[in-house]
A and B are shown apart, each in its own frame.
Chain A
């Protein structure tokens, strides 16, 4: 059986550090999630999340600083607006919305992070491997975002 592919985009200043803290405290977690460090959830492009689903991710988790606590003052507010909109649009792309989650975990919430990973992974395990999104994969598209933008 193929393994589940879960991606986490984590803010360096809070959730990434919270995940570090969970590690330091040896809080055991399920093994499917792979974390990508981001400077801020405000850097998380909804298109990147879509891209991940398009390329076969079974679940995407975004986690940043609690509203009001953003290291860059307001990056997570932008993230919240963008990701909330994205979450609502996912069904239109043929992606089950339960496969996507954005949440807030601070640098001191190691135990909470372990819980988030556990809950998220359990949920995706129940859903199983994701279907191919209706927005079809473009196997030959090697262009960068920049080049695509110019062409379209």
Chain B
């Protein structure tokens, strides 16, 4: 056995706190180590070449690389040793950067630790056997969850590459939050004018199967071969028969909250959420429908000219297989009411959210594009915008920046002036964050051309007085308190993850942060991948972002998916469980605990039934390894012997 050791200095990232030369000399004293050297940047081209050279010249059979986290460069170095003619799994990484040099300041502590970790790594690689991966076919169908702009973009890009896509949307129409916006910054493009054609295209695309009113129920399988149960919720309307004539909505006697319009105006129990909805199909919300609440009504059934109403309809489950999944479940705006009692906590009708204001500005909205005070229907002349409500505010546990509030507030200030020329807008802000292309100029325009008055400071209190609202804040630039008499107050509410995001993350086995936003695999280099292979992220489900970023991320996710699925087959990890069948007693405890049903009964020639592992199903968790009473099932790459050797080496 000839082990080679390479200690990365990572410039000064490691070398500043770990004495790498000392680690090398310690390594040379370890059993079976035939070669050890430091490399300035191991992942660089010359660094990798040094490894290949040493392996070939010294006939090394195992390699230990002490560098950054294996989560960063394990794949890189497996390829390196493969180029040198070794089995990729005969390489072991030791994490002396994230787990050592970066968390210690004392050189002796860090160096001692690095040497310990190196000893453990050498002990571990000594017990490693060569492993070979196999390939499994990849299902040629992609699931996109969420039909907002990100989901639509991803679905179109993937379908345009010739791969079939199933686009699942929870609500009755695709379009997401973007469909609710009036104009978009910084160009003042009409939001629905640019989005609607994409929605229609997604619906008409022959490679996109659109499922609205549908949710992901459960997910099984793994990269390349997911099996997903999709719940198609009963809407009591036959999607194929409904023509979208909206007569039912007109005649329906059951009032219901208007979710699409963020509560501005009212909707009906049977409705089409907005005029540009795709698909143009009505849906009944049972919780508001008289037929279901009172057991009698039937108006929609009577008036429907297409005979599309079916009260008996029930949820159905569709099970489909997918090679990859794109998650694009978006966001919801922060519910400010409980957290901000000083702003009225929702008690003052003329304190509204930016999304409600957006619906008011929209020509297809409930007010037909007329800005009106909710309290008396009057046109407001003094409008106050308050930034950072539920964002950049530690006191409500939302320290994150919503990244779009400054921009859409500037947009709304501009639109206010366009709608009501004799109006005056005030904007309370913390900082103006306008990082995108053309953004800074846009916020300047709001002030210079459209006369919005920007006041740098937080608002402490809002109270009603004589039909108006008094907004009390500070102006930190002039250094004093300010009071503005407002007809209407618009709160720039931040982003929260979509309802049920954490639950979906658990179904998909992807990580999420404390706000419910899904975590990318690496913030810089793997921004659309999750830690689970085959599952990708697009749009605001990963964190607050604007439309261009969501679209760009969706296209990036699509590119990743196309790369994965178009290959047709996939290398599987060879780190799977293995049974020593001669010694297996056939108790099948392993089969009982396996989360992937990867254990089957195999009959031996003597008639005994023993356990066998289905390699293509085994995901390598090792739960069976621990459960096996005679210890004859072992996880390759993490065998008992390897783990014990590593542990004992440290404690020696």
Contact = CB atoms under 8 A, between A and B. Distances in A.
A108 B513 contact: yes
A124 interface: no
A107 B630 CA distance: 34
Nearest to A112: B514
B84 interface: no
B102 A144 contact: no
A69 B506 CA distance: 5
B182 interface: no
Given A39-B638, A149-B631, A72 B651 contact: no
Contacts of B375: none
Contacts of A42: 621-623, 626
Best-surrounded residue of A13, A22, A40, A82 (most CB of chain B within 10 A): A40
B595 A74 contact: yes
B104 A28 contact: yes
A13 B506 contact: no
B626 A82 contact: yes
B621 A14 contact: no
B97 A23 contact: yes
B31 interface: no
Interface stretch (B1-9, B170-178, B364-372, B640-648): B640-648
Contact of B647 (A3, A31, A36): A36
Contact of B71 (A12, A72, A145): A12
Interface residues of A, number: 57
A146 B117 contact: no
Contacts of B72: 20
B638 A78 contact: no
Interface string B626-637: 110111101100
A28 B641 CA distance: 33
B416 interface: no
Interface string A28-68: 11010011111110111110100110011100000000001
B583 A146 contact: yes
Contacts of B519: 107-108
Interface in B413-472: none
A24 B98 contact: yes
Interface string A70-113: 11111100100010000000000000000000000011100000
A113 B509 CA distance: 21
A36 to B, nearest CB: 6
Given A57-B651, A78-B623, A150 B506 contact: no
A123 interface: no
A127 interface: no
Interface stretch (B105-113, B280-288, B331-339, B544-552): B105-113
Contacts of A106: 511
Interface centre among A21, A23, A52, A148 (most CB of B within 10 A): A23
B575 interface: yes
Contacts of B621: 39-40, 42-43, 71-72, 75
Nearest to A69: B506
A11 to B, nearest CB: 10
A31 B104 contact: yes
B99 interface: yes
Nearest to A29: B103
Contact of A72 (B110, B619, B632): B619
A52 B643 CA distance: 10
B97 A51 contact: no
Given A24-B98, A146-B640, A14 B113 contact: no
A145 B644 contact: yes
Contacts of B98: 19-24
A16 interface: yes
Given A28-B105, A55-B647, A69-B511, A38 B583 contact: no
A13 B629 CA distance: 27
Given A23-B97, A39-B635, A149-B632, A71 B641 contact: no
A145 B103 CA distance: 35
Contacts of A145: 631, 640-641, 644
A138 B8 CA distance: 37
B129 to A, nearest CB: 14
A12 B104 CA distance: 22
B641 A20 contact: no
Contacts of A23: 69, 97-100, 102-103
B632 A17 contact: no
B70 interface: yes
A43 B627 CA distance: 9
Contacts of A68: 506
Nearest to A36: B646
Interface in B384-440: none
A51 B647 contact: yes
A34 B651 CA distance: 11
Contacts of A125: none
Given A23-B98, A36-B646, A78-B593, A71 B104 contact: no
B105 A17 contact: no
Interface string B204-223: 00000000000000000000
The 6 closest A-B pairs by CB, nearest first: A23-B98, A43-B622, A72-B621, A42-B623, A31-B109, A23-B102
26 contacts: A17-B531, A19-B99, A20-B99, A23-B69, A23-B98, A23-B100, A23-B102, A28-B103, A31-B104, A31-B106, A31-B113, A34-B116, A35-B99, A42-B626, A48-B644, A57-B647, A71-B621, A72-B621, A75-B595, A78-B593, A78-B623, A106-B511, A108-B511, A108-B519, A144-B640, A146-B630
Interface of B: 69-72, 95, 97-100, 102-106, 109-110, 112-113, 116-117, 120, 505-506, 509, 511-514, 519, 531-532, 575, 580, 583, 593, 595-596, 619-623, 625-627, 629-632, 634-635, 638, 640-641, 643-644, 646-648, 650-651
Given A71-B621, A145-B631, 16 more contacts: A16-B71, A21-B98, A23-B98, A26-B102, A31-B104, A34-B113, A36-B643, A40-B622, A43-B625, A43-B635, A51-B644, A71-B531, A78-B626, A107-B531, A145-B644, A149-B631
